[in-house]
Amino acid sequence: MLGGMQDWPLLVWKLIDFAALNHGSREIVSLTCEGGEHRSNWAEVHRRSKGVAQALSRLGLKQGDRAATLAWNTHRHIECWYGISGMGAVAHTVNPRLFEDQIVYIINHAGDRVLFLDLTFVGLIEKLAPRLNSVEHFVLMTDAAHMPTNASVDFLCYEELVAQADGDFAWARVEETTPAGLCYTSGTTGNPKGVLYTHRSNVLHTLGSITKDAMGVGSEDVALPVVPMYHANAWGLPYSCAAVGAKMVMGGPHFDAPTLHKLLMKEGVTFTAAVPTIWLGMLQHLEETGTDLGALKRVVIGGSAAPRSMIVDFKEKYGVEVIHAWGMTEMSPLGTVGSLSAEAAKLSQEEQFDLKTKQGRAIFGVELKVTDDAGTTLPRDGESFGHLMVRGPWCVGEYFGGEGGHILDAEGWFDTGDVATIDQGGYMQITDRAKDVIKSGGEWISSIELENEAIGAAGVAEAAVIGMPHPKWDERPLLVIVPKAGATPRKEDVLAHLEGRIAKWWMPDDVVFVDEIPHTATGKIQKTTLREQFADYSFPAVDG
Ligand code: ADP
């Protein structure tokens, strides 16, 4: 027997239709690649995304075809997202910070027929175009005045394409299980793998992420996603802001603290999201300039662990609430959010800070468990750590093109590759990536926890911990530190700071100071490269 309710497919374009109709005048402000700022709103972005859809249809793009974007966060990029998926094709976000060979691999593997690119990437695409086998049209996201005159690629002009469209275009009425988006993981080992989102998974993820205990974004918010749209969908914000009619502020090609800070103050940003490295830069900028964060109320921090000292600084110095979140490209990306439960709200401020360093609780739509190597579920006691497994309607079922074969176990669980604990209250804490955990004498040491504590020591700008070979213990932790500008922290002081904050046997065997720590294309510490850099290193004194 069927139920009696309407069949209303969960399609991504319904989000922008809703925003245009109900919050049409709510602004979308972008810094642009041409320089300067552009002011638009949801009604305008809706109209122009229909223009993109119509233009693509005229170029011969068909349902299920892929169209890629190589672009920063701008109003045009949002228009492309809705335009591409709205005409039934797949919006493939390409991360421009990947190596050139990876960009070529990804675009060819996806079989992208159209590539939208920002002005920043003209030179890159002129170089790579001969190797991009499937791309038939390169659309430069700019106006006629900024089109290059003697480029080796025959670029189409975005603004002309949109202007030529009369907007008389009906969105594709496809099945909700039709693909809408594609994003590749950064593939620190092996080739990147594509995650093919459906309209349904994106809409459900949106509904899950706007709830109060999750991102909690509303129509009064002014949201600045610093996290790029090519990094795990800017954590879904171009969808969730449409779903609630929030104003959006987009930084374009800018990620530096002074520019972001100016934008944040000028537009009255209340909500923002970024990886910890961005916030390290921002907090330093605030300290140097003696400024504050204006109307900002909440920052979502994810992608890597948010150090406790960062959570404390935001709250105590600037009155801003940090919401620690965890997720991954394979999860659209939101998995857990560190908002306070009713019990947690009763804790002291210090206890709340401790809790907020955990990555948070599952939101409805995400199931979590931790298992040992044999696959047995471990207790939710906040101590037992094991493989973090996930399940849910916005979690990956298989990679694009079937790469990597079957990736779910018999009960549909996906192994995240993270090692974590879950406590009685449901708060999950990542202790490591499975491949980064330090195995000392048969026990595991969490590199993330050591890094989080080390960063609180005086004069430390950034910290990374890697396991180095040790004759007795197999591996021991080596702490690598980037000092703050002008500071010269000493090994003894850093280790003294760690004392009492970590288990005695976790104490790093050595501390080394470097000018820079390598990062991945999504702002995470690149442990593989760091380990290579220290390949010839050995600990100063082995205690036998
Ligand atoms: P990429 O590997 O391309 O950067 P993801 O953003 O999908 O892409 O990476 C997901 C991984 O990032 C997670 O599996 C986890 O290891 C790490 N991660 C994400 N959020 C956090 C967090 N808040 N704390 C610690 N690690 C995190």
User: In 53-202, at which residue ranges do the beta strands (DSSP E only) sit?
Assistant: 66-70, 90-93, 114-117, 137-140, 156-157, 179-184, 194-198
Q: In this structure, are 318 and 398 located in the same domain? A: yes
Query: Would 101 be classed as within a structural domain?
Result: yes
Predicted local distance difference test score (pLDDT) of residue 147: 98
428 and 454 within one domain: no
Summarize pLDDT for 418-462 with one digit per residue, the tens.
Answer: 999 999 999 999 999 888 989 898 888 999 989 999 999 999 999
Nearest CA, atom 4, ligand 1: 522
- Choosing from 439, 443, 472, 505, the catalytic residue is 439
Position 187 confidence tier, pLDDT thresholds 50, 70, 90: low
Active site residue 506: no
> What pairs with residue 69 in β-bridges?
93, 116
What value does the mean pLDDT take over residues 153-171? Answer: 95
The binding-site residues of ligand 1, defined as CB within 6 angstroms of any ligand atom, are 185-186, 232, 302-305, 324-326, 328-329, 333, 359, 416-418, 430, 433, 520, 522, 524
CATH number for 504: 3.30.300.30
Residue 386 three-state SS: strand
**CB of 297 within 8 A of CB of 322?**
no
Are residues 411 and 453 both part of a single domain? no
- Eight-state DSSP code of residue 307: P
Number of domains in the chain: 3
Q: Exposed/middle/buried for 515, CB within 10 Å: 0-12, 13-18, 19+?
A: exposed
Position 289 scores a pLDDT of 97
Residue 297 lies in a domain: no
By the 8 A CB rule, do 498 and 508 touch?
yes
Query: In the predicted model, is pLDDT for residue 542 greater than 60?
Result: no
Residue located nearest, by CA, to atom 27 of ligand 1: 304
Tell me how crowded residue 347 is: count the other CB atoms within 10 A of its CB.
Answer: 14
Q: What is the pTM of this model?
A: 0.92
Report CA Rg, the chain: 23
Can you give the pLDDT at residue 523?
82
Domain CATH code at residue 78? 3.40.50.12780
Average pLDDT, the chain: 95
Count how many Cα atoms sit within 13 Å of the Cα of residue 207 in the half-sphere of its side chain: 14
Å from CA of 303 to ligand 1 middle: 4
Q: Cβ of 53: how many Cβ atoms within 10 Å?
A: 28
* Residue whose C-alpha is closest to residue 187's, from 101, 114, 66: 101
Q: What percent of the chain has pLDDT over 90?
A: 90
For residues 419 and 484, membership in a common domain is answered with no
Confidence of residue 521 (pLDDT cuts 50, 70, 90): confident
Q: What is the pLDDT of residue 124?
A: 98
* Average of per-residue pLDDT across 392-406: 96
73 in the same domain as 49:
yes
Select from 304, 394, 432 the residue to mutate for testing ligand 1; criterion: most ligand atoms less than 8 Å from CB. Answer: 304
Q: CA 15, CA 437: separation in Å to the nearest integer?
A: 41
List, for residues 233-258, the tens digit of each pLDDT value. Answer: 999 999 999 999 999 999 999 999 99
What b/e sequence results for 58-71 when a residue is b if at least 16 CB atoms lie within 10 Å of its CB, and e otherwise? eeebeeebbbbbbb
Ligand 1 center to 53 CA (angstroms): 32
Q: How far is CA 281 from the centre of its chain?
A: 17
Q: Which of 434, 461, 479 is the last residue of a domain?
A: 434
Cα(18) to centroid of ligand 1, in Å? 31
- Which atom of ligand 1 is closest in space to residue 416's alpha carbon? 14
Does 233 fall in a domain?
no
Q: How far apart are CA 18 and CA 206, in angstroms?
A: 13
- Tell me which of 199, 223, 242 is where a domain ends: 199
Q: Is 416 a residue of the active site?
A: no
Determine the distance separating the centroid of ligand 1 and the alpha carbon of 163, expressed in angstroms.
Answer: 39
Ligand 1: which atom is nearest the Cα of residue 359?
23
Q: Are residues 426 and 450 in the same domain?
A: no
What pLDDT score does 335 carry?
98
Q: Give the range of the structural domain holding residue 477, as residue numbers without chain letter.
A: 436-533
Same domain assignment for residues 325 and 418: yes
431 belongs to the catalytic site = no
- Tell me: do 510 and 378 sit in the same domain: no
The 3-state DSSP class for residue 156 equals: strand
pLDDT number for residue 99: 87
pLDDT band, very low/low/confident/very high, at 544 (cuts 50, 70, 90): very low
User: Is there a single domain that holds both residue 101 and residue 150?
Assistant: yes
Phi-psi region of 319 (alpha: psi -120 to 50; beta: other; left: phi over 0): left
Q: Which of 171, 413, 444, 506 is catalytic?
A: 444
Q: Is the link from the previous residue into 333 a cis peptide, with omega within 30 of 0?
A: yes
Q: Where are the beta strands (DSSP E) in 118-166?
A: 137-140, 156-157
Determine the number of helices (DSSP H) and then strands (DSSP E) in the chain.
15, 25
Mean pLDDT of 150-161: 97
Contacts of 142 (CB under 8 A, 6+ apart): 33, 34, 118, 119, 157, 158, 159
d(CA 75, CA 69): 13
Measured distance CA(483)–CA(495) in Å, rounded: 14
37 in a domain, yes or no?
Answer: no
Q: How confident is the model at residue 188 (pLDDT cuts 50, 70, 90)?
A: low
Pick the last residue of a domain from 172, 199, 226: 199
Per-residue CA distances from 36 to 30, 31, 259, 356, 536 (Å):
9, 6, 12, 37, 48
Asked, for residue 394, whether it belongs to a domain, the answer is yes
- DSSP class of residue 390 equals E
| Closest by Cα among 154, 110, 161, 96 to 130 | 154
Q: What distance in angstroms lies between residue 524's CA and the mean position of ligand 1's atoms? A: 8
Residues near 364 by beta carbon (within 8 Å), at least 6 away in sequence: 208, 211
State how far the Cα of 508 lies from the Cα of 450, in Å rounded to an integer: 8
Q: Domain for residue 34, yes or no?
A: no
Q: Which of 142, 178, 185, 198 is catalytic?
A: 185
Mutation probe of ligand 1 site: the residue of 99, 416, 524, 525 with most atoms within 8 A of C-beta: 524
